[in-house]
Structure 1
Amino acid sequence: MTKPVPDKAEIALEYPDKFYVGTFEHSSRFEAHLDGNGVALVLERPGTEDVRKSVHLHINFGLLAGILRELAGSVAAIPKDDIAHRELLASALRELQEALKTC
């Protein structure tokens, strides 16, 4: 089930001969779920053919764990006085941790 994007995502794909960039904001929607191998993420921007776009991404569990470790190592980049974003991330991680324990 898709939900509204609560903040913003910027996506860039770079190939040797092409460069694609897209932004997904509040008017966009997202879906994220775990499957047997990892995380599936879909970002969708609805609209007419000239503005409509979507990104589908699948990240296996090993890579996701590596990404989370890298993020943990770079938390200092979030200013200490940015309590709102720090708490938002901490709350979401607590929910994920609890869900992993109960299944």
Structure 2
Amino acid sequence: MTRPVPGKAEIALEYPDKFHVGTFEHSSQFEAHLDPSGFALVLERPGAEDVRKSIHMHISFGLLAGILGELAATVGKIPKGDILHRDQLADAVAQLHQALKKA
């Protein structure tokens, strides 16, 4: 199920001879789900051919766990006064934790 992007995502893809940057904002959509081997993420910006773009990523469970651990180690970089984003992250992590316990 696709949902509107609630914020902004910036993607940079660098090759030795090319550099691509894309931004996905409120007019874009995302889909995220777990499958038997990891985490899948799709970001799509609809529109005419000259503005339409998408990215598709698949991350193994081991890498996802490593990413979550790194995020936990750097959570102090979120300003203490940024209660909205701290609460959004805490709520989402609590939902994931609860779902993992039920599964």
The TM-score bracket by the shorter chain reads: over 0.9
- Give the whole-Å Cα distance in 1 for the aligned partners of 2:74 and 2:6: 22
Q: TM-score, normalised by structure 1?
A: 0.99
Shift of 1:52: 0.2
Q: How many residues are treated as equivalent by the alignment?
A: 103
What is residue 61 of structure 1 aligned with on the other side? 61
What is residue 92 of structure 2 aligned with on the other side? 92
Shift of 1:98: 0.2
- Give the whole-Å Cα distance in 2 for the aligned partners of 1:93 and 1:61: 16
- Any idea what SS the aligned residue of 2:36 has? coil
Q: 1:6-17 to 2 correspondence within 5 Å?
A: 6-17=6-17
Aligned identity (percent) is: 73
What is residue 74 of structure 1 aligned with on the other side? 74
- Any idea what SS the aligned residue of 2:55 has? strand
Superimposed CA distance per residue, residues 3-33 of structure 1 (whole angstroms, 9 cap, x where no aligned partner): 0001100000000000000000000000000
Unaligned runs of 5+ in 2: none
Superimposed CA distance per residue, residues 41-98 of structure 1 (whole angstroms, 9 cap, x where no aligned partner): 0000000000000000000000000000000000011011101000000000000000
What is residue 51 of structure 2 aligned with on the other side? 51
- Any idea what SS the aligned residue of 1:30 has? strand
What is residue 4 of structure 1 aligned with on the other side? 4
What is residue 22 of structure 2 aligned with on the other side? 22
* Displacement over 3 Å in runs of 4+: none
